[in-house]
Structure 1
Amino acid sequence: MRVTAAQPGRPALWLLDAPETAGRHGQLALHELDEAELERADAFRRPADRDRYVAAHIALRRLLAAYSGDAPRDLRFARADCPRCGAAHGRPVLAGRGPHFSLSHCRGAVLIGMAAAPVGVDVEPLPRSERVDVCAAALHPRERRELQGHPPEQRPAVFARFWARKEAYLKGTGVGVGGWTSEVYLGDAGPHALDRPAGWTVADVPLGGGRAAAAAIRGNAARPVLRRLPGRAVLVGGGVGDAPNQA
């Protein structure tokens, strides 16, 4: 499969399953990461966390290279201006031409979004019930009421769904997750639901496997196409051109 340039209204999502184990099948393409990424990777105490981080950033660089035409190692990153304060600590961007992108990973999964407009993605494991009780205060008041309307056994999945939408949206805007998470409503649609943030398309991404995921794209975007990357996509000698067309 050949990766083509991002097209307006047609964002793409890329899923890499089990990134922690990709290195068991060959050598990870560490030479494509920059010094800052390698230093960050070495700071992880748990090997699985390090391998997940490395696989995520190799995949991101290879996808961006396929879109932009540059070599993965030659890509340089910068930060967009924060929409709240104007300082250069907003969402990550390519220093030069290329698509908008977003990266998220959790145990067992890496999710990457590419689009012609600002985009945010998030993937979350389903939390334990006691964690839902602790973290529910970070939801919008209407989201908390919706959460409480579900049986206890369903609440971890509902919370993860709400949180993935919220984090994807806040990453897409460049604000990032902070004390304002309770100000943004991204609950389920219904007869008494509030309006979601204007000017953004926020969609659930069905991954299964005890995970919730979402993508947020600025504007009235088409539903993202979900594609899967094989483990060899992050190995020396592999590449994203080995990926199938869709999940």
Structure 2
Amino acid sequence: MPDGRRVDLWLLRCPGPGTPPGPHVRPDSHVRADTRVRPDPDVRPDPDPLADPGVLDVLDAAERKRAASLRRPADRALYVASHLALRTLLGAYLRVPAREVVLVREPCPGCGGPHGRPAVPGTPPPLHFSLSHSHGLALIGVAAVPVGVDVQRVPGPGTVDACAPSLHPAERAELERLPPGARPGAFAQLWARKEAYLKGIGTGLSRPASADYLGADTRSRPHGWTVTDLPRADGHTAAVAVLGTAPPTPAVRRLPVRLTSPHLTSPTDDHAPGRQRPRAHRPVGKATGGYP
């Protein structure tokens, strides 16, 4: 179970049909991965994962409905795989099988209705989590306090021009001071920070993007939160936001693709969170993401 300042970050790469296996993040040297948990490059997701009755047994009704609404097979496969992995991970933390993990909805920060972010029941909850997935990559954050994670793909200049007016005035000014070639990368990292923070406070994008400053000046970011850039590589960015003070360099661990199997009721001792014995660390491969 996570405690204190510890933040657990778990990375899963789920290649779509016809996608060759490859590395999934090339982080800076200070972000490391446990080499005992690595994906099996020979595993491919089922083109129609909802056809597997095991999936229906693990995911709840809302997750099954959302998965069924995704028309692209690769999007559906990633959604199902990441949510199966999330439930398996939470089950390992809570010491229950994945199919017995119960998730509830927190009250909406805007209206108080029962449609806020998903959470583990409890007062206070035994742990907090956040999930972000896009273009074959899923990032899961688990902590003892509220946490948000996000992955983004560096967009083209047109996307930056279209989205920049919605940013905080100081963020817009920072982007405008950059040379044109540097703006897409800076915007992607800024947007990853912003979404991670908004997920952390529970509002998501229902809160205006202009309401909070998540720019380069760490002293001006929201008080009481630690927002950390994860390594940028091959055109993608990621960030994690944690309530309070968090380690400056949270570790990123790889999840094995087998954790996406609905027939796995709980991880083995080798893959259960907190059970890894110390090992030599090395960077993980390349992260992919995209704008939702």
Q: Bin the TM-score by the shorter chain.
A: 0.7 to 0.9
Q: Is the 8 A contact 1:65 1:72 kept in 2?
A: yes
> 2: CA distance between counterparts of 1:13 and 1:42?
27
Match of 2:224 in 1: 199
Q: Distance in 2 between matches of 1:119 and 1:179?
A: 17
For residue 125 of structure 1, the aligned residue among 135, 150, 153 is 153
- Quick check: 1:43 aligned with 2:69? yes
Contact conserved, 2:2 with 2:143, CA < 8 A, in 1? yes
Distance 1:34 1:19, change over 3 A: farther
Report the equivalent of 1:6. Answer: 2
Q: Is the 8 A contact 1:118 1:172 kept in 2?
A: yes
Partner of 1:17: 13
1:178 equivalent in structure 2: 206
Partner in structure 2 of residue 77 of structure 1: 103
> Which region of structure 1 is more displaced relative to structure 2, 19-28 or 197-206?
19-28
- Deviation for aligned residue 1:88: 3.0
2:259 is equivalent to residue 233 of structure 1: yes
- Equivalent pair of 2:129/2:141 in contact (CA under 8 Å): yes
Q: Cα offset for 1:236?
A: 5.2
Deviates more, 1:37-46 or 1:14-23: 14-23
Gaps (5+ residues) in structure 2? 18-40, 285-292
| Alpha-carbon shift at residue 222 of structure 1 (Å) | 1.7
**C-alpha displacement of 1:90:** 2.6
Kindly tell me: are residues 19 and 64 of structure 1, through their superposed partners in 2, closer, same or farther at Cα, counting changes over 3 Å?
A: farther
The answer for the alignment partner of 2:235 in structure 1 is 210
List aligned pairs for 1:76-115, cutoff 5 A.
76-96=102-122, 98-115=126-143
Paired-residue identity, %: 47
Quote the offset at 1:232 in angstroms: 2.2
Distance 2:153 2:62 in 1: 27
Secondary structure of 2:107's counterpart equals: coil
With over 3 angstroms needed to count, the CA separation of the structure-2 counterparts of 1:166 and 1:91, relative to structure 1, is same
Distance between the aligned counterparts of 1:143 and 1:6, measured in 2?
33
* Cα offsets for 1:197-232 (capped at 9, x unmatched): 011110011152321111111011223221111222
Q: 1:203 and 1:78, CA in 2 relative to 1: closer, same or farther beyond 3 A? A: same
Whether the 8 Å CA contact 1:82–1:89 is kept in 2: the answer is: yes
Other structure's SS at 1:127 match: coil
Determine helix, strand or coil for the equivalent of 1:205: strand
Deviations 1:19-45 (A, max 9, x none): 535895476662422233222212211
| TM-fit CA distance, 1:81 | 2.4
Structure 1 runs not aligned, ≥5 long: none
Q: Hey, what's the Cα distance between the residues in 2 that align with 1:83 and 1:45? A: 30
The higher-RCO structure (CA 8 Å, 6+ apart) is 2
Q: Is the 8 Å Cα contact of residues 126 and 212 (structure 1) preserved in structure 2?
A: yes
CA distance in 2, matches of 1:39, 1:120: 24
CA distance in 1, matches of 2:42, 2:208: 38
- TM-score, length basis structure 2: 0.75
The root-mean-square deviation of aligned C-alpha atoms, in Å, is 2.4
Q: Which has the higher helix share?
A: 1
- Distance change (3 Å), C-alpha of 1:145 and 1:176: same
Q: How far is 1:65 from its partner?
A: 0.3
**Structure 1 stretch 229-238 or stretch 35-44: which is displaced more?**
229-238
Q: Is the 1:17–1:108 contact (alpha carbons within 8 Å) kept by the matching residues of 2?
A: yes
Q: How far, CA to CA, are the matches of 1:124 and 1:38 in structure 2?
A: 25
